[in-house]
Structure 1
């Protein structure tokens, strides 16, 4: 599904930051756009920054369920600093809180949590209901092999050991 990403620009509160950018909304089914101004309220400006594709995957239905079960379901918008004239590059949008956490852990991207519109909640929920399969937890059992009987790594195999490999070296005794 095509999602338009709405980004708000407000003036910074310190002398080191001119503007603060924050993703504030998504527009399901939006057409293509590139930093199109939507609204201006004093110094605050909202832009339709980009339109990205929201893709859902069968293997991530557990993550979607986790996101839908929260009090306020959200879409996570991943952005990074732009090398071009644009202030930010919108990388992607995801409904998976697990994937959003992976991007947030790198520290290179800015991940914003945006409220999910009701129609989009219904669309994701329908997808999960159609494709989710509960994973049965299988506890791993230790195999019965006795690994303590193997003595690999004791001593140097190139040197013939006649006696105990753990013995302390002895000093040569000279006969007078």
Structure 2
């Protein structure tokens, strides 16, 4: 049972992407999400750090949206050994930036839905302590456990009639799996 399904909070989350050299000649660069910055300001591919050929960018700042109807999923994510936030990205061929960050979510269920299509790239990044506190506070304010109600069966007897045993054109019950034959007229 949800206390308030209209409950909603959001927080801007900066996404840090790391570009490192690929290990084969067919993949020149490997892009991974390395961190998130809760409450970050807007930034479009700002270089944060560069060491040798490895560079980290503040790629985008999407909103992390928390909804009252999804508190069970957030609770599941918080109970993991390492609570994580999920970054959903798409490749942007022909653009200046190779990846387009489309969503940041704290729901492992929503992240799993995005992995089904195969078009999006889903990266799991550990949640910082401040973000864990933000999500936990929201869950504590809006989550209520659903009471399991077992469905009761009807008392109607369904085994009293025999349906679909075989083809009615077959005369004997022993031949229920035989194929029907056409009646032939005998010429006299």
**Do the two structures share a fold, i.e. TM-score over 0.5?**
yes
User: 2:148 pairs with 137, 156, 176, which one?
Assistant: 137
Residue 10 in structure 1 maps to residue 15 in structure 2: no
2:44 is the counterpart of 1:34: yes
Match of 2:186 in 1: 174
**Equivalent residues, number:** 167
Match of 1:25 in 2: 35
Deviation at 1:103, TM superposition (A): 0.9
Q: Residues 41-62 of structure 1, C-alpha deviation per residue, up to 9 Å, x if partnerless?
A: 1110000000000000111111
Q: How much does 1:19 deviate?
A: 0.4
RMSD: 2.2
Counterparts of 1:67-146 in structure 2, within 5 Å, are 67-83=77-93, 84-146=95-157
Q: Give the alignment partner of residue 53 of structure 2, picking from 25, 36, 43.
A: 43
Q: Which runs of 5+ in 1 are unaligned?
A: 156-163
**TM-superposition CA deviations, 1:49-79 (whole Å, max 9, x none):** 0000000011111111111111211110011
CA distance in 2, matches of 1:142, 1:166: 36
Secondary structure of the 1:17 match is coil
Provide the secondary structure at the position in 2 that maps to 1:75: strand
Length-normalised TM-score, structure 1: 0.85
- Of stretches 165-174 and 111-120 in structure 1, the one that deviates more from structure 2 is 165-174
SS in 2 for 1:174: coil
